[in-house]
Structure 1
Amino acid sequence: MQLALSTLGCPDWDLERILSVGRDAGYDGVDFRGYRDEIDVTRHPLFTDRADETRSRLESAGLSISALSSSITLCETDDRAAHVAEARRLVEVGDTFDVDRIRVFGGGDPEDRSRAELARAGGETMREILSIDGAENFQWVLEMHDAWTASDDCQQLLDELPADNVGVLWDAAHTIRLADETPRETLDALGDRIEYVHLKDAVYEPDHNDATDDGYVYAVPGEGDLPMADVVAALRERGYDGWLVFEHEKRWHPSIADPDVALPAFVEWFRDQR
């Protein structure tokens, strides 16, 4: 497996620090989910006007972009035009940096519309995105998140999406905490579609002021309650050799461990999983 760090974990760092720490810690790539004050990297000069400079700096550090993580939500039709416009920008940036994957969400509220209706709307949005020139050259990975976290729910949306162009981003912390699935249950259900994996650790502390909605606080890898080792073991058993992304959500939860500690700790923890 190749290791990538998500820029969610270091929202205050400039590119030089991201690349130097990533290189020195032993990462292979960077998943760009925002850069400093801009959550949409397609609107930042480092990825547009100064893209050649950024690409050169990545190459010098021996790092690649594992994916561009968008804010696109396929099933929210009121914002479809904006999502398609974002997709068009992502295709342009992805072409410049030889990116293979772009992350999208499902989104939508099953209390407002049925899952079947939401899934059909998601399929319509995805087909519109794929009509963009060059969009078919990417794998668009659907994160197991929000209304589509459980494997059965995710499969319902996948059934409406073009299989040749859309895979699954397995966020293992979500399926374990929110869908009550073991790693092997998720892999048994969706393993053939999983093309990208997010991993993070957390401890159950519902009274913490920076806890998630389900009461967890993100932790330094190996110091939390989540069965991260079981995720890696299950992936290896299945022969997965793609990207494993450490998604330390410092941007959303500022009190959790600083990136200087957490980012190197993930690589050290992973190397112990032999």
Structure 2
Amino acid sequence: MKLAFSTLGVPGLPVAQVVRLAADHRFHGVELRAHAEEEPVHTGLSAAQRAAVAREFHDAGVEVLCVGSYVQAAAPGADEPVLAELRAHVELAADLGAPYVRVFPGAEVGSGTSADAVAARRLAAAAPRALDRDVRILVETHDSHRTAADVERILGLVGHRAVGALWDVMHTWLGGEQPTASYPALAPHLGYVQVKDIASVEDSTPLPLGQGVLPLAECVEVLSRDGWDGWLCWEYEKRWFPRVPDLPDLLDDARTHLWRLLNESA
């Protein structure tokens, strides 16, 4: 498996510093969060700026794993604004050489399974262009669809290989699923896996990997047992928890912990 980290843990850092962190701490790739107000990489970049970002990563031997959009596939309202934003992120990912774009479900509370159809309709509409650009759109297990079973309902309606799943282990676990249930549901669609650690069910304060309650060893074991050879991406959500330690100071220990889990499950 390959290891990545998310720039959510280091918001606003210049691209050169992100690349240097990944290279210096021996991570294979980075999940880039794309938000025009917060991040140096977003859909407003010119073609020249996109080429420069891609070149920085390429020259350092670091991959852009994913463009983390804030698109909500099942959000209430008209389809076209959602589709326009989604297509813009697909183009950004393609220009950066990223294989994936992350989207959230984002359904309105109480919308029930009708939100599945809304999300599926939009994702299906965007899928052909994503396929043309060699990009997969991944629905993260998150918010209104936090379990693998929830996301699987959407993907079953889409039925297109350019649309898949991003498994956020925290959300499936908080939704009552163990890795042994989440992985089989997501396996046919799985792009990559986000890992993190938290203090408790009631307290989602981020902790260094291995110091919290999330079933990371079980997750890696399930993946390894099936021969899955994709990406593990560490998501350290410092942005909403400013008092926790800075991510750069934890990267070496995080990489070591993940490699230990991989070796123990081999």
TM-score, structure 1 as length reference: 0.87
List runs of 5+ in structure 2 lacking aligned partners: none
**How many matched pairs?**
262
Match of 1:209 in 2: none
Counterpart code for 1:61: A
CA distance in 1, matches of 2:230, 2:130: 26
Structure 1 residue runs without a partner (length 5+): 207-213
Moved over 4 A (4+): 131-136
TM norm structure 2: 0.89
Is the partner of 2:206 in helix, strand or coil? Answer: strand
Provide the rounded CA distance (Å) in 1 between the counterparts of 2:34 and 2:98: 16
Match of 1:138 among 135, 139, 145: 135
The 1:51–1:152 alpha-carbon spacing in structure 2 relative to 1, beyond 3 Å, is closer
Confirm whether residue 29 of structure 1 aligns to residue 29 of structure 2: yes
1:126 corresponds to which of 120, 123, 128: 123
Partners of 2:44 and 2:176 lie apart in 1 by: 38
Q: Is the 8 A contact 2:34 2:41 kept in 1?
A: yes
Amino acid at match of 1:88: R
Contact kept, 8 Å, 1:143 with 1:169, in 2: the verdict is yes
* Matched position secondary structure for 1:149: coil
Verify: 1:56 aligned to 2:78, yes or no: no
Structure 1 residue 22: deviation in Å?
A: 0.8
Per the alignment, residue 71 of structure 2 pairs with 72
Equivalences for residues 161-240 of structure 1 within 5 A:
161-176=158-173, 178-204=174-200, 214-240=202-228
- Residue type at the aligned position of 2:55: S
Map residues 87-98 of structure 1 onto 2, 5 A cutoff: 87-98=86-97
Contact 1:130 1:136 in 2 (8 A): no
The question of whether the paired residues in 2 share the 8 Å contact of 1:100 and 1:138 is answered with yes
Q: How many angstroms apart in 2 are the aligned matches of 1:77 and 1:5? A: 31
Q: Displacement of 1:166 after TM fit?
A: 1.3
Q: Separation in 1 of the partners of 2:91 and 2:236?
A: 27
What is the aligned-residue identity percentage? Answer: 26
Residues 133, 194 of structure 1: CA spacing in aligned structure 2 closer, same or farther, 3 A cutoff?
A: closer
Contact preservation (8 Å) 1:150, 1:175: yes
CA shift, 1:52, in A, is: 2.2
Q: Write out per-residue CA displacement over residues 86-132 of structure 1, whole angstroms, 9 at most, x where no aligned residue.
A: 22222322222222111111111241x222x1111112211232354
